[in-house]
Amino acid sequence: MKDLLELTALEAHEAMVAGDLGAEEYTAAWREATAGDELNAYLWRDEGGEASAIAVERDCVAPIAVKDIFCTEGVPTTAGSRILEGYRPPYTSTAVRKLIEAGAPILGKTNMDEFAMGSSNENSAYGPVLNPWDRERVPGGSSGGSAAVVAGGLAPWSIGTDTGGSIRQPAAFCGIVGLKPTYGAISRYGMIAFASSLDQCGPLTRTVSDAALLLGILQGKDPCDSTSLGLEGGIRLPDREDLAGLRFGVPAELARDAVDAGVREVFERTLAKIEELGGEIAEVSLPSAEHGISAYYVIAPAEASSNLARYDGVRYGMRVDGQGDLIDMYETTRSEGFGPEVKRRIMLGTYALSSGYYEAYYGQAQKVRTRIAEDFSGAFSGVDFVVTPTAPSVAFKLGEKTDDPLAMYLNDFFTVPMSLAGIPAISIPAGLAEPEGGGPQLPVGFQIAAPAFAEQRLLDAAYALEQGIGFDARPGGANG
Amino acid sequence: MAELEAVIGLEIHVQLATKTKMFCGCELSFGDEPNVHTCPVCLAHPGVLPVPNEQAILYALQIGLALECEIAPRSIFHRKNYFYPDSPKAYQISQYDIPICGPGRLGDVRIHRAHLEEDAAKTIHVGGSGRIHGSDASLVDFNRGGTPLVEIVTEPDLRDAAEAAEWARLLRETVRQLGVSDVNMEEGSLRVDANVSVRPAGSEELGTKTELKNMNSFRFLQRGIEAELARQRALVEAGGTVVQETLHFDPASGTLTPLRSKEEAHDYRYFPEPDLVPLAPTEEMLRKAREALPELPAARIARYENEKGLPQDLSVLLASNPTMAEFVEGAWQMMPTANPTAVANWATGDLIAALRKVGANEDFLDRPVSLEDFAVVVEMVDAKKISHSSGRIVLAILAAEGGDPEAIVEREGLAQISGDDGELAAIVEQAMADNADAVERIREGNNKAIGAIVGAVMRETKGRADGGEVNRLIQERLSS
């Protein structure tokens, strides 16, 4: 048998089910590995199995790292924010409960951009996560910790959340697989809300098969989440070997100029690989997609401004008593508890919803959102999938974009439209490219999007492509 | 100047008597220790989601049907955003532009809409003015927070304070008989606010309105509206203009004071609640709601007046007490030839008096006099077997100790003394002899003096004589 930590989650699961691998020994090896976190990827490590107290008798699913946005009873849950410092939720999110019930021990809670707002993990109140490929670079965000632990050998797999690309973009930056399922596939209950109509939980894994295994555990209609639907028929492991008969649409509006040369090259090479595997490349039109970022940065902050209003210091988390009455306490607590990006979005969103501005901003953004969804429906009448690079560049340097929120927002250009349309999309590692400005080669993600609830077809195709690409580059490791 | 006409509309909040809260499983209670009926959802912990209470939806449909409202095939929940300690999420889930119940009518008043929402928690501000600003401390009890509410809004169809209070009583009775609320104004399960304005009589335009709050009885509602109408009339007649504001009724002084503008200057930033799907009542739910509707007061009043010839006050009295009405309807069936008004008067007057005397439940829920015995007593009086006052005595004995009405008449010697057997004639003659001065005065044309003779006969017979019969016997003897 390979080194325990080299096993994919699926391999480990099969070995445990077959009795060839002891769950205790396997989990212990991972708990030991988490102790070597030099990436600031974990905010809390579960050394004593605290979070998994209700585990089934025999763990047979690989232990997992959980983004610190999932409420877990009795263990710290901060969403990367100062305002939730010290908060230990009185209940457990449905996603984490399902993992624990399936027999997956929790390794710890991973670092993230505060309230999932960010594309670089630099907005965490607890310091940035470092990219395991190059510690001077960001791991992407907002699920940066969840991506870094998988890429950096600190967890076999993890879960994150994706609102506008927060699973797919860090997966691309860290050279792993990241899947944002259809909105409603996985319960949002207990997942701290950023933008409720967009937020979706999903897997970050080494392989497409691992993503399928994890999605199968997580998906399902939840009586605690009225907007959840689950995936009918569940998810089986993918085994497709070619792409014969499948049509892949490349958006005509894809701003190839806005994409770094290295990323573009990997993208073109991947299109060629698709054809090699029997797939067909076609051009599709998504005329409204270019307005995705504008619409997203109205809708998401609007919902966030309402979702984050509950953090007032009264019932839980941080409280800073002001000089005067209750209103003063609210203001002082929120001023000191939220970071600059969160404040920026609360202000943006409050403005967009204000009387007199609602139609011009929120109303208009919702219309764009509908148009984008219609664009995708139109495209899917001619092709099975829509493909794009996951992000316009490889991982950028820490601090490179922190002074320019707009440049940071543009990082989500390729991932936001799928979020607005509520459809599933996966990022798989497609190769390595040299960053603009030079330096060691870094991973490039390839994004495949499918119609709503077509996760099985998406995973099957992604698996075939993954096998065809044969990406096997690895970072030096968390300690390397 | 033309006379000023009052224009009044009401906004009624009805707390639904469901088992649990609107969006979580917490029990509803009144008067329990503070903060015992709470959970992560109604305390707005991070990550929680609302799940609508099906029973509340059913109750709202019943109210809508009872008010002849158009039921929306698909209504939407909105978030109403505001910072205040009574709202832990900092928004209330309510309905905005598409309520569950559209236009309807109750009696002469048109209903504008009725919608579902959740109640706020209870707050007490200690120190200062008793309001949040400048207070030393604010205390919150979340037991009430999240109680299902239906808010009913009328059109401005009411024209004076007494009419408004009377209509509000009809509404309360209607909702009470649906069995969907306790409708207790003192406990706050029914809260009536009034929108009041004046305009020149005959004008179609609406004047500037003020909103009156905190009138926790029908009497206060009427007094509050009266006071505000007097103020507005005086103001307008003196050449002033009414300013739109919210006024708080103080039951102790009976006066209205404006809330500080800072407390009402809200921009609620309404937007569709992304955590809930549209509310689309199924055929099954509508059928259930229709089947649960009893005959409602307005229909009952009309039926009693038109079919039974009951006077209006008696109809209203019966319609507001369905248990008594059911009893009276049973009596009408047993005595098809009896005068319906007389039967109803027996039940609502003499029987109730007898029941009250023995401390029985006066709303007829707990009645020790059976319908059969009641009918026997009424028929004995009708057939002149006993006098009216003897009938009262029999009812009192039945209420106190039960028994057979005919046996009671026998045992107590209550059988009517008639003029034909000579006994009554003898008593009459004796009474006339004893009251010779009265006889003299009658002969002089003072007919009222006959009362003294009748009184003497009644005393002598212990009420067993029929008043009409006694009168006849006196007149016979006077004219002979």
pLDDT at B417: 78
Contact between chains at B88 and A314 (C-beta distance less than 8 A): yes
Q: Which of A52, A119, A146, A166 is catalytic?
A: A166
Peptide bond into A142 cis (omega under 30): yes
Contact list in B for residue A190 (CB cut-off 8 A) is: 47-48
Q: B161-178 vs B218-237: helix axis angle to the nearest 10?
A: 150
Distance of CA B75 to the CA centre of its chain: 30
Contact list in A for residue B89 (CB cut-off 8 A) is: 309-310
Residue B45 at interface with chain A, using a CB cutoff of 8 Å: yes
Measured between CA atoms, how close is B148 to chain A, in angstroms?
Answer: 18
Q: What residues 102-131 of chain B have any CB closer than 8 A to a CB of chain A? A: 128
Contact between chains at B271 and A87 (C-beta distance less than 8 A): no
Q: Is A166 a catalytic residue?
A: yes
Give the span between the Cα atoms of B433 and B431, in whole angstroms. 5
pLDDT at A61: 93
Q: Is the pLDDT of residue A1 over 60?
A: no
Q: Which of A52, A67, A109, A419 is catalytic?
A: A67
Q: Is the pLDDT of residue A477 over 60?
A: no
Distances (CA, A) of B25 to A122, A223, B53, B54: 39, 12, 9, 11
Residue B81 at interface with chain A, using a CB cutoff of 8 Å: yes
Indicate the domain borders of chain A. Answer: 4-245+383-469, 290-364
pTM for the whole thing? 0.87
Contact between chains at A77 and B46 (C-beta distance less than 8 A): yes
Q: Which of A81, A119, A124, A142 is catalytic?
A: A142
Give the span between the Cα atoms of B193 and B405, in whole angstroms. 51
Give the CATH class of A4-245+383-469.
alpha beta
Q: Is A67 a catalytic residue?
A: yes
Contact list in B for residue A354 (CB cut-off 8 A) is: 267, 269
Select the residue from A88, A310, A321 to test the B interface by mutation, using most B Cβ atoms within 10 A.
A310
pLDDT at A248: 98
Q: Is the pLDDT of residue A363 over 90?
A: yes
Give the span between the Cα atoms of B160 and B5, in whole angstroms. 9
Question: Average pLDDT, stretch A181-192?
Answer: 98
**Sheet with A280-284: strands ordered across:** A42-45, A106-110, A64-67, A157-162, A200-205, A177-180, A425-433, A442-449, A385-389, A247-251, A280-284
- CB within 8 Å of A403: residues ≥ 6 apart: none
pLDDT at B425: 85
Query: Residue B197 is encoded by which pair of tokens?
Result: 């304005």
Question: What are the φ/ψ torsions at residue B154 (nearest 5 degrees)?
Answer: -95, 165
Is A212:A237 a contact under the CB 8 Å cutoff?
yes
Contact between chains at B46 and A192 (C-beta distance less than 8 A): yes
Q: Is the pLDDT of residue A478 over 50?
A: no
pLDDT band, residue A60 (cuts 50/70/90): confident
Q: Is A306 a catalytic residue?
A: no
- For residue range A429-450, what is the model confidence (pLDDT) as tens digits? 999 999 998 889 999 999 999 9
pLDDT at A479: 37
- What is the DSSP code string of A405-433? HHHHHHTTTTTHHHHHHT--EEEEEEEEE
pLDDT at B365: 47
Neighbouring C-beta atoms of residue B307, cutoff 10 Å: 9
Is A432:A473 a contact under the CB 8 Å cutoff?
yes
Question: Average pLDDT, stretch A452-472?
Answer: 98
Neighbouring C-beta atoms of residue A456, cutoff 10 Å: 20
Give the span between the Cα atoms of B28 and B18, in whole angstroms. 7
Residue B79 at interface with chain A, using a CB cutoff of 8 Å: yes
Residue B25 at interface with chain A, using a CB cutoff of 8 Å: no
* pLDDT, averaged across chain A: 94
Question: What are the φ/ψ torsions at residue A65 (nearest 5 degrees)?
Answer: -100, 140
Positions of chain B with pLDDT lower than 50, given as ranges: 262, 365
Burial of A460 (C-beta count, 10 Å sphere; 0-12/13-18/19+): buried
Q: One-letter amino acid identity for B164?
A: A
Q: Is the pLDDT of residue A347 over 90?
A: yes
Indicate the domain borders of chain B. Answer: 4-291, 297-412, 419-479
Contact between chains at B274 and A227 (C-beta distance less than 8 A): yes
Candidate from A90, A188, A330 with C-beta closest to B45: A90
Query: Residue B390 is encoded by which pair of tokens?
Result: 């003897």
Contact between chains at A90 and B83 (C-beta distance less than 8 A): no
pLDDT band, residue A480 (cuts 50/70/90): very low
| CA triple A455-A458-A462, angle to 5 deg | 135
pLDDT band, residue A424 (cuts 50/70/90): very high
CATH code of domain B419-479: 1.10.10.410
Chain A residue nearest residue B133, CA to CA: A325
- What is the DSSP code string of A206-254? SSHHHHHHHHHHHB---TT-TT----TT----------TT-EEEEETT-
Question: Average pLDDT, stretch A375-394?
Answer: 97
**Per-residue burial over A293-323, b = 16 or more CB atoms within 10 Å of its CB, e = otherwise:** bebbbbbbbbbbbbbbbbbbbbbbbbbbebe
Burial of B421 (C-beta count, 10 Å sphere; 0-12/13-18/19+): exposed
Nearest to A430 by CA among A411, A448, A443: A443
Contact between chains at A310 and B83 (C-beta distance less than 8 A): no
- For residue range A131-144, what is the model confidence (pLDDT) as tens digits? 999 999 999 999 99
Q: One-letter amino acid identity for B361?
A: N
**Could you tell me how many CB contacts below 8 A there are between chain A and chain B?**
114
Give the span between the Cα atoms of A288 and A370, in whole angstroms. 9
- For residue range A211-227, what is the model confidence (pLDDT) as tens digits? 999 999 999 999 999 99
Contact between chains at B81 and A358 (C-beta distance less than 8 A): no
Candidate from B52, B132, B270 with C-beta closest to A325: B132
Give the span between the Cα atoms of B311 and B338, in whole angstroms. 16
